[in-house]
Amino acid sequence: MRRDTPDGSRVRRLIRPPGAIVEARFLEACTRCGECADACPEVSIFKAGAEHGAALEMTPLLDLEERACYLCADVPCASACPSGALRPIEASEIKLGTAVLFPELCLNTLDRACTICVDVCPRPQVAIALPQDADGDPLRDASGALPIPRIDASNCTGCGLCVVHCGSYPKALAVTPEA
């Protein structure tokens, strides 16, 4: 699935696992062995099927609308890769992409108070936050409605936890992959 982001760019739904090298080199290096998927304790990585085309078939992908990356401390998927298509990295280095918010779909816009994206974020009030008043409470507008969450791209890992847990349909969040 692809959607337009607020700036008019497109959201690509499928993203490589943590530690992936540049895509062209990744496709050359990946042996399609499945070791990374087998090593993922959260079962977040899947092998691309024929519907993704011959060039991608059997390569590892994440679908961050269906299953988030849980930013495992030891990054077992990258460590399991025997070909170097996924390079071993520290969990603190994981940057899969950046969450993008579609304000018109956010439940707060629809007068249904929601904080789930902030609540599930591994970096709450840093990567995604609700504007707060001086006491640290969510800053509500004159009608008492909660504000739209703000995403700090420099601190967002693109893990997809906010997307997976988003209660709106269609989802008010998506992850754009790292360039």
- What pLDDT score was predicted for residue 2? 41
In a domain, 12, yes or no: no
pTM for the model stands at: 0.85
CATH no. for residue 173?
A: 3.30.70.20
Looking at the fold, whether 31 and 62 belong to one and the same domain comes out as: yes
Within 10 A of 152 (CB to CB), how many other CB atoms are there?
14
Residue 138 lies in domain: 96-179
The confidence score (pLDDT) of residue 10 equals 45
pLDDT of residue 1: 36
Q: Same domain for 77 and 127?
A: no
Averages of pLDDT over runs of 10 residues in the chain (179 residues) are: 48 81 95 98 96 94 94 96 97 94 92 90 87 81 83 95 96 89
Q: Are residues 76 and 124 in the same domain?
A: no
- Of the residues 93, 117, 133, which one is the last residue of a structural domain? 93
Q: Which of 46, 66, 93 lies at the terminal end of a domain, its last residue? A: 93
* pLDDT confidence of residue 15: 94
Q: In total, how many domains does the chain have?
A: 2
Environment class of residue 6 by beta-carbon count within 10 Å: exposed (0-12), middle (13-18) or buried (19+)? Answer: exposed
Regarding whether 71 and 103 lie in a shared domain, the answer is no
Residue 117 lies in a domain: yes
Query: According to the model, what pLDDT value does residue 31 have?
Result: 97
pLDDT of residue 75: 97
